[in-house]
Each structure stands twice: as C-alpha cells, then as structure tokens.
Structure 1
Amino acid sequence: MSSTAGTARDKPTPAVPRPSATVIVVNSRNEILLVHRNPKSKSFANAHVFPGGNYDKKQDEGHGLPFTAIRELFEESGLLLVHPSSSGIPSNAELDAAREAIHAQQRLFRDFLSEHNLKPNIEGLMPFTRWITPPNIPRRFDARFYVTFLDDARSAGFSSGDKQERLPTPDGGQEVIEARFVHPAKALEEFHAQRISLFPPQFYLLKTLADILHGAQNTAAQRDTVRTLSQGAFGRMVINPRPVRDPEAQAEGFSVLTYEGDEARGGSPGRRHRSRLKFGQGGAANQILLERNFDIFTEIEEHAFSQSAKL
C-alpha cells in the first residue's frame, strides 16, 4: 500500500444532505409537541425531536417543504394542520387509517386531503432557522424548521398532554414511540436532569422559545414576538455546525460546535455563537451549554451567514 494512503485526496466525499422539514407546534398552553424516537431507529435514536422528516418525491412532488412538514407531523403524531372544511374533519378512525396508509406509502397524503376537501394550513407555518448536518456525519439533512400556533379550529388530532404511539414502519420497526406536548422550559429541565436527550438544533430552538413563552397561557404578545423572529434575520439563519478545538472545554469533557456568527465563523471579535456538548448514545447529546451573547432580534450579523453557501 502506498504511504500516501489516507491523505486528504482519499477522504470520502461527504453525503449530500437530504431536504427535510420539521414543525414546532405551540398550543394554547405554551406547550410544544415533541416526539420520542425509537432507541433502535436509524436516525435520531432515542432522542426527543420536533415532528418532521425527509422530502418524499412520491408524496410531496409539486408541493414545497412546508407540505412535507405537515405530512410528517400527521404521520408521526396524528395531528393534522388544515383549514376548516365545509365537509368537516374525518373521524378519528378515518384519520388513524389514513395515517398508517400514508406512512406505509399505500396512500398519498394529497389524495387523502382532496377526498375530504381539506387544505393544509401552509400559511400558518413560519420559517424558524435552517440547519445542515456537518459533512463528517454519514446521514446528513438539510432541515427547514417551521413554527406554528395550534388553532383548534384548524387542526385535528390531540392538542395537549401525552399520546402513546406505536406506528409500524414498512420494515416492521417503529420510528416514534410517544408524542406529547410539554412546555419548552420543562423539556429543558428534563434534558438537564438527563431524563431525555436532544440534538443541538432542538436544544437551540427550545431554549429560544423558552425565553419567550413564559407561563401556561399563550398570549397575542408572545405570538407577535415569535412572528418577529421568524420574519427577521433569525428566521433566515442557515446554520452549518462545525467542530472547533477548545482545550478548556475538552479538559472538562466537552466537544464544541460553532455556528455562523461566532467570532471563529465570521462574527465580530468576542462574538459567541456556539455550543458545548457531551454526547450520549445514538449521537444525541445529554449535556448542552449554549453560548450566544448577542440579541437575536437586533444583533444578528447577517454577513456572517452569507458564507454558509461556501461551506
């Protein structure tokens, strides 16, 4: 074998990120819908994540990623985000049967909607950052995150509490074992107590929303604040996490991921936009410390994010 084996030219080409969409659903109690992934799942094993999944050409062709987010939300949790229909919402039995058939690719989501004169509430989804998996990870995703407020008049399915799910996948496995609404502050408490595991994007966005959604009653002012974030530089952020050497953090057992806008990623001197992490099983983190020392409403340096396309 040549002594040059293993050089940079021999590095495998990074996988192309798969387009995907995720929706953060906020109910009237300021609770957010989380689904618990199966510990044996190929992706995000045992983690708590927002409902979402990959763009599916068969299911989603001719529609955008918000449509993907609504379909995946229905498949994974049973919650259907639609506009009111003169023909009414299908029964729970019809919803359950359709959900399983769509998940198994035996029925198209758009056909199910058309048959019941239902229109997906695309307009209710607000952009809430975009995250691209680092190139060293074998399974990569280009994930668009959306946030929406749950309006009982425009949804079907459960809207609060817990719901046990055991939905078979085509190979006989199970992707999601539980779905539940939980306040973002409580979810973070559970994470810090190591009762649940999260990935960096979910932690980042839960922390962001926990700082806004105070109390157990969703208010007009809180909704306006979230909309302001979505419509501003925050909602447009494209985040490509990258590891960086940090001897101090490493001495404490942490890895460090930097994000665009950090002083090491195009931001001003002293600007921190990074996370310290300790990873558990399945690639999810069981400890995350977010360092973000700028105002996300007024101080995002958008020039730093313009470099994302070059990464």
Structure 2
Amino acid sequence: MSIDKSALRDAATLVVLRRDLPDGPAVLMGMRGAGAAFMPSKYVFPGGARDAGDSNIALAAPLPETCAKRLAQETEADLGPALAVTAIRELWEETGLILGTPGTWQGDIPTDWAGFAATGHRPSAAGLRFFFRAITPPGRPRRFDARFFLVEASELASDPDDFSRACDELSHLHWVSLPQARALNLPFITEVVLAEVEAQLTSGPPATIPFFDNRGPRATFARLG
C-alpha cells in the first residue's frame, strides 16, 4: 500500500539555546540537503516527524506540567510524551548531542535508540519547554503539525561542540547568534520562531503559545493557554 507523503504528520522541533558564546545568545542550526523534498537548502533547527515507536520510549523525567497541558490542547490524543521523545531522538540523530540523564535501559533497545543508549543515558524531557506550534499549509510535498520546544544548552549531557556522532541529514551544523541567524537562508516559519525566541529572551516565557493552524481551508492564528 502506498503512503501519502503529503498527509499531515505530527512532528517535533528542538531549538537549543546557548548563552556562553562571545557573540551573545545562539541557537543550533544546520542546512538541509539540496535534494530534500521538504525545505531543500534551508537552514533549520533539529527536528522531524514522530515515529510510531516514539510512544514506546520511557522518559527518565517527564515534561513540565504546564508544557504537558498545553501540548494536549487542540490535539486528538495525548501525544506530549511521544513528541518529547521525538525531539530528543531527532536531536541525537541529526547532531549527535545527548539530552538525557545517566541511566540503564530496561528490556530490548530499539535500533534507532541503540547509539543513544550506548552512551549510558536515558532521554529526559525535564528541560524542554513547549513554546510554538505550526501546521504546514496545504499543497506542500510534506505537511507537519510541528511542536517547537526550547531547551537550554546547559541541559545537554554532552559537549555542545561535538557533532561527530551526527548523521548526514543536516550539514554545516553550528551555533549561530540570533542576529546572524536572520541572514541565513531560512524557511518563513523558522524566521517567525526566531523572532519568538528573541522576544522571550527579553520578556520571558509568554502566558500563551502561538499556534499557526492550517488544518482547515483557511489559515488561522490562535494561542494555546
């Protein structure tokens, strides 16, 4: 049976914020390949679609309560824990960075988590903060219901400059200051997310979460409280 690749898929994106660099606050970004079906040659944050197996991965620490409640809004199922797992898995696969706590896995380890588990860590969502949601408009070759998480680089359990274990999905992985990021070749929604990150650095976490909703025939904007 063929798969409709344009069907809406749940996804998670992780914005890792670093504050110890001389040029000021920076985020981790990489460039997608020129032949990619979705956002070719664009600079993006680590992230990707939720895998069915993500629901079966136990977190060493759960999402903060407020984040979990916001993730459950405007959603048919409670996908919060699975989306947190997706974000951590994609960060590991695309950058080789570890967001987790020391611990031993129980039972069989899924193939796509074998490398992560071999580092002696289990995934932890304690440092994640859900802060943005956007659904890809109709008519695109790939469509995602993407939840964006923010995490401080200080939460990483690995060297933030060591990308040696990354896959080749993203090239030119580097920490880029927020002003410099604006000069990169960015998707529109990434520009919007960067603006939200900059605003939160000034005013702190918002009382509600921006939600660009393209599920229906007309685009709408809402806020998740």
Question: Do the structures match in fold with TM over 0.5?
Answer: yes
The alpha-carbon distance between structure 1 residues 159 and 116, as it changes in their structure 2 partners (threshold 3 A), is: closer
Matched with 1:20 is: 11
Shift of residue 132, structure 1, vs aligned partner? 0.5
State the distance in 1 between where 2:154 and 2:126 align: 13
Shift of residue 115, structure 1, vs aligned partner? 4.8
The alpha-carbon distance between structure 1 residues 75 and 157, as it changes in their structure 2 partners (threshold 3 A), is: farther
Matched with 1:158 is: 160
Matches within 5 A, 1:195-210: 196-210=184-198
The alpha-carbon distance between structure 1 residues 116 and 181, as it changes in their structure 2 partners (threshold 3 A), is: closer
Matched with 2:144 is: 141
Quick check: 1:38–1:176 contact (8 Å CA) kept in 2?
yes
The alpha-carbon distance between structure 1 residues 126 and 45, as it changes in their structure 2 partners (threshold 3 A), is: same
Amino acid at match of 2:45: F
The alpha-carbon distance between structure 1 residues 138 and 86, as it changes in their structure 2 partners (threshold 3 A), is: closer
Which has the higher relative contact order, 1 or 2, with Cα contacts under 8 A spaced 6 or more apart?
2
Shift of residue 114, structure 1, vs aligned partner? 4.5
Amino acid at match of 1:184: L
Shift of residue 158, structure 1, vs aligned partner? 2.6
State the distance in 2 between where 1:165 and 1:39 align: 22
The alpha-carbon distance between structure 1 residues 157 and 78, as it changes in their structure 2 partners (threshold 3 A), is: farther
The alpha-carbon distance between structure 1 residues 157 and 107, as it changes in their structure 2 partners (threshold 3 A), is: farther
1:11-60: CA deviation from partner (whole Å, max 9, x where unpaired)? xx9943111110000012311001111111122100000100111124x1
State the distance in 2 between where 1:238 and 1:33 align: 23
Asked whether 1:260 is paired with 2:221, we answer yes
1:116-147: CA deviation from partner (whole Å, max 9, x where unpaired)? 54122211110011111112223111111000
Amino acid at match of 1:176: L
1:204-225: CA deviation from partner (whole Å, max 9, x where unpaired)? 1112223454xxxxxxxx6xx5
What SS does the corresponding residue of 1:122 show, helix, strand or coil? coil
The alpha-carbon distance between structure 1 residues 132 and 86, as it changes in their structure 2 partners (threshold 3 A), is: closer
- Name the structure where helix makes up a greater proportion of residues: 1
How many residues are matched? 189
Amino acid at match of 1:207: A
Matches within 5 A, 1:89-238: 107-109=111-113, 111-151=114-154, 154-159=156-161, 167=167, 174-188=168-182, 190=183, 196-213=184-201, 225-226=203-204, 228-229=205-206, 232-233=207-208, 235=209, 237-238=210-211
Amino acid at match of 1:138: P
Contiguous gaps of at least 5 residues in structure 2: 58-81
Matched with 1:47 is: 42
Higher Cα radius of gyration: 1
Shift of residue 113, structure 1, vs aligned partner? 4.5
Matched with 2:88 is: 70
- Percent of aligned pairs with the same amino acid: 27
Matched with 2:51 is: 56
State the distance in 2 between where 1:48 and 1:66 align: 22
The alpha-carbon distance between structure 1 residues 15 and 150, as it changes in their structure 2 partners (threshold 3 A), is: same
State the distance in 2 between where 1:73 and 1:43 align: 18
State the distance in 1 between where 2:103 and 2:213 align: 44
Matched with 1:35 is: 30
TM-score (norm 2): 0.71
Q: CA RMSD in A?
A: 3.4
State the distance in 1 between where 2:83 and 2:97 align: 17
TM-score (norm 1): 0.53
Amino acid at match of 1:239: F
Quick check: 2:133–2:146 contact (8 Å CA) kept in 1?
yes
Matches within 5 A, 1:78-97: 78-83=96-101, 85=102
What SS does the corresponding residue of 1:53 show, helix, strand or coil? strand
